[in-house]
Chain A
Amino acid sequence: MVSRVNVPKGGFNFDNYQRNLILQQNGYSMPKATKTGTTITGMKFKNGVILGADTRATGEALVQDKNCPKIHRMAPNIFCCGAGTAADADKVTDMVASQLELHRLATGRESRVTTVLATLSQYLFRYQGHVAAALVLGGVDVDGPQLFSVAPHGSTDKLPYLSQGSGSLSAIAVFEERWRENMERDEAIELVKDSIKAGIFNDMGSGFNIDLVVIEKGRADFYRNIETPCPTIEKIGNYKFQPGTTAVLSESFRNFVTITEGDAMDIS
């Protein structure tokens, strides 16, 4: 007998809400989700926009990820950095990127930064700040280079240089001192790197490596780990245990053999 499977319709599911509420009322505290901590920045330069981010993801005081990618590709010409609750920033940027791809296929045109801005801010406002993502959005489209930031409650800012995250104060200080209009590409890259470094060294929630993306008309260069101001020190000692050190109670083996004849199916 075949019974119909309920395919989820998308959107959030609140099935566990009552159970979780009862648990909370019985004195069990709700766990904290991974936050990005973060220093994310963006600035406009002569021919386009540069976005930069650090790579630390924290769960309260513990570092969960030492090389977390915070710069998300929304479109070939539009990138977005995410701060706040890591899952929210990841999922909201992925969702909007998918919608944007479908939109590009439907319209046959290059995506616009204002499209992304409207989608993100309307979505975040709808959830009244509970989807806790703070984003720095930049890209180059038919209207030229554009740089925006979106706050968790849905408000937006349009500025020549921006920063978000726990390290935003340190980063914006660097911009306030050294930003000028129409900077050259190399000088601008150095400025963004310095702003992220200010966050990395002065903010506990930011750290490790610097990611950068330079967006110009018709091209975007993504530099993953362009600089590592906090390199891992090489271990001098060898901590390998001799095989057989650990006592084993019982063991079982299973072998799985796949024989491929001819061309294997392409599963890339």
Chain B
Amino acid sequence: MSILEYNGGVVLAMAGKKCVAIASDKRFGSNYLTISMNFPKLYQATDKTFIGFSGLATDVQTLIEKFRFHINMYRMNEERDIEPNTLAHLVSSTLYERRFAPYFVEPIVAGLDKNNDPFICGMDLIGCTTMNYDFSATGTGEDQLYGICEPLWQPNLEPEELFEAISQAIMSATNRDCMSGWGAVVNNTRESDHAYAEDPHGLIGLLLVRQINAVRIETLHLYAKLLTDQSLADVSIRNIMTVAVRHREVFYDVVSSCGM
């Protein structure tokens, strides 16, 4: 067995229209024994960027701390958050530094860049970057993931459609892989200033004066089995209503703090 398969786990990232989603399974094992069913492998690097790590869990945890340090130092020095492209190169260099004694991880960097366009970059354990425009998968179920993503992905997926595509892909693939599974965590990051259009209080006029760039991150925990319950069709509508309400709350906070 390869050392990358010891703890098990998969990470998948997909790009849509002004949105990106990254998902990981939740299994943490020791060879064939499952120790935990709640071990997602995603790390939120900045507001708009995630890194997902598959491979040896100890190296995953070490690298999360290492990158937390680098990202915070970057923010202090540059007074802005690190762009996903820059972060991908930082991760790649950190891994290549250990070229002859590598960390046993295969990370994926996924996020929205400064124009809220999706960015995905997968890497092997020594930092070879593959900047795919569609999707990227790593982990024990990598072959299965690539297989299911090829037909399910299409260009310009809306955030809701992207969520469905990535969830079905990861659930199907982990069902065919012994070393990963027990559910999935999906982080769906999207630009969402169009949600303000439903504001009935007429404050929409103020929005035009300022450039507002809103990014919404949803963390969704999924069942281990595929379910197609009709009543769950209401879920997405609920999402949108909840989000619209929250957007208003945020907007009011911002407006009041600006002294309007």
- Give A214 Cβ to nearest chain B Cβ, in Å: 25
Interface residues of B in 93-130 (CB under 8 A from A): 95-104, 114, 122, 124-130
Residues in chain B near residue A20, CB distance under 8 A: 101-102
Cβ contact within 8 Å between B2 and A235:
no
Q: Does B36 contact A (CB under 8 A)?
A: no
Interface residues on A, range: 35 or more
Which of B210, B217, B247 contacts A260 (CB under 8 A)? B210
Q: Does A23 contact B (CB under 8 A)?
A: yes
Cβ contact within 8 Å between B142 and A259:
no
- Give A263 Cβ to nearest chain B Cβ, in Å: 10
Which of A31, A131, A255 contacts B247 (CB under 8 A)? A255
Select the residue from B3, B132, B210, B239 with max chain A CB neighbours within 10 A.
B3
Cβ contact within 8 Å between B220 and A240:
no
Q: Does B29 contact A (CB under 8 A)?
A: no
Which label, helix, strand, loop or mixed, suits the secondary structure of the B interface?
mixed
Cβ contact within 8 Å between B164 and A258:
no
Residues in chain A near residue B183, CB distance under 8 A: 249
Complexed CA–CA distance, A85 and B130 (Å): 13
Complexed CA–CA distance, A57 and B92 (Å): 16
Select the residue from A8, A23, A27, A87 with max chain B CB neighbours within 10 A.
A87
Q: Does B199 contact A (CB under 8 A)?
A: no
**A14-55 interface bits toward B, Cβ cutoff 8 Å, 1 = contact, 0 = none:** 111101100100011111011000000000000000000000
* With A33-B125, A87-B126, A91-B127: A16-B2 Cβ-Cβ less than 8 Å: no
Interface residues on B, range: 35 or more
Cβ contact within 8 Å between B246 and A57:
no
Residues in chain A near residue B30, CB distance under 8 A: none
Cβ contact within 8 Å between A254 and B217:
yes
Cβ contact within 8 Å between B220 and A251:
yes
Q: Does B34 contact A (CB under 8 A)?
A: no
Residues in chain A near residue B214, CB distance under 8 A: 255-258
Comparing A61-69, A102-110, A194-202, A204-212, the segment that makes contact with chain B is A61-69
Complexed CA–CA distance, A30 and B100 (Å): 11
Cβ contact within 8 Å between B210 and A259:
yes
Cβ contact within 8 Å between A31 and B235:
no
Nearest first, the 5 closest Cβ-Cβ pairs linking A and B are A244-B233, A87-B128, A241-B164, A17-B101, A247-B227
Q: Chain B: residues with CB nearer than 8 A to chain A?
A: 1-4, 6, 47-48, 80, 83, 92, 95-104, 114, 122, 124-130, 132, 142-143, 146, 151-152, 154, 157, 160-161, 163-165, 167-168, 171, 183, 192, 210-223, 226-229, 232-236, 239, 242-243, 246-247, 250-251, 254, 258
